[in-house]
Structure 1
Amino acid sequence: MTKKQRPRNHIIADLSVNYVERLIFLCGYSVERVEYDYGYDLILFTYNEKGEIENGQVYLQVKATDSIKISSDKETILFSLKSSDLELWLNEPMPCILIIYDALSDCAYWLYLQAYFEALPNFDPSKTGNNVTVYIPKINILTQETINEFAKYKNNILKQIRGVIKHELS
């Protein structure tokens, strides 16, 4: 009788999360893994220069692959997403970042989802079918610097909503 075997996709999924978490920790931030994945794998929490926690968070969706798809001009990564995830991401006020981990090269690429889709002219999520392909510039390599950029994206959103939200009892 053969014992259960650990499939490659589980191994690279763990490697991808480990890769992202390490960069986050090197920035002095913290991260929580989402137990039940309905569109987010990790939640990034940031801290100021005094080590005090900041408001807001960044949502991260991490995908791992052994066979990254690259455009013919070698400048862009193509990745297919389920349209069912778009509604969650596009209606979330805090930044949602897609991270594609290339297990063979031990490298990850990122895409700020709301900004990406807002920049597409006439994009209508209701007309995407079951999947939508995103085009990630190969220069979008995940580094400590880009993790810090994610914190800036979050802080920019917080500045925009300051004074707009009212918490009222119904």
Structure 2
Amino acid sequence: MNHVERYVFLCGYSVERVEYDYGFDLILFTYDVNSEIENGQIYLQLKARDSLRTLADQETIAFTIARSDLELWLFEPMPCILIVYDAQLDVAYWLYLQAYFENLPGFDISKIGESITVRLPKMNILDREAIEKFAKYRNDILNQLKGVIRHHD
């Protein structure tokens, strides 16, 4: 958790730790140039291992996630980012979950078992640039929502 928080703070953002883990560990909040909080948030799910399973290409990490978590993440409109931390190497990798599954040919959540293995590119290293990307993903979603949501009483 501290590894992730460090990069968030270096970007001038903040996180809230989720006390009771219901599928998210941190909620990321961003701020504009006037230090005012911005709309929307980014959900982070953290996983740590002593070592990670790297595929034969040496460029991809295989990581298994539970279907129950996936159902929560895929139906959340704001970005959900899986962060997998390699404790031995002190490095974390990330995966934008909704985008990953949208781009997975033929994916149907109703047809998977209790778990599914995702592939995280080793080039997706968690750093300040990654945190800024997460904010961009959130902004892209907010821009799509403009003029679409109607609140009625």
Q: TM-score range by the shorter chain?
A: over 0.9
Unpaired segments of 5 or more residues in structure 2?
Answer: none
Q: Which amino acid aligns with 1:65?
A: R
* 1:72 pairs with 2:52: no
Question: 2:134: which partner in 1?
Answer: 150
1:84 counterpart letter in structure 2:
S
CA distance in 2, matches of 1:160, 1:153: 11
Question: What is the aligned residue count?
Answer: 153
Which residue is 1:39 aligned to?
A: 23
Among 117, 120, 130, the residue aligned to 2:101: 117
The structure with the larger Rg is 1
> Residue 50 of structure 1 is aligned with which of 15, 26, 34?
34
One-letter code aligned to 1:94: M
1:168 shift after superposition: 1.4
Q: Map Cα deviations across residues 1-54 of structure 1 (whole Å, 9 max, x no partner).
A: xxxxxxxxxxxxxxxx00000110010000000011111000000011221110
Question: How much does 1:125 deviate?
Answer: 0.7
SS at match of 1:108: strand
1:94 aligned to 2:78?
yes
Q: Does 1:162 align with 2:146?
A: yes
| Secondary structure at the counterpart of residue 80 of structure 1 | strand
Match of 1:26 in 2: 10
Regions of 4+ moved over 6 Å? none
The two structures have a TM-score, normalised by structure 1, of 0.89
Amino acid in structure 1 at the alignment position of 2:143: K
Aligned to 1:104: 88
Aligned-partner residue type, residue 41 of structure 1: D
Q: Tell me how large the CA RMSD over aligned residues is.
A: 0.6
Task: For 1:96 and 1:40, locate their aligned partners in 2 and report how far apart those are by CA, in whole Å.
Answer: 8
- Structure 1 unpaired stretches of 5+: 1-16
- Return the TM-score normalized by structure 2: 0.98
Identity of aligned residues (%): 67
Distance 1:36 1:167 in 2: 30
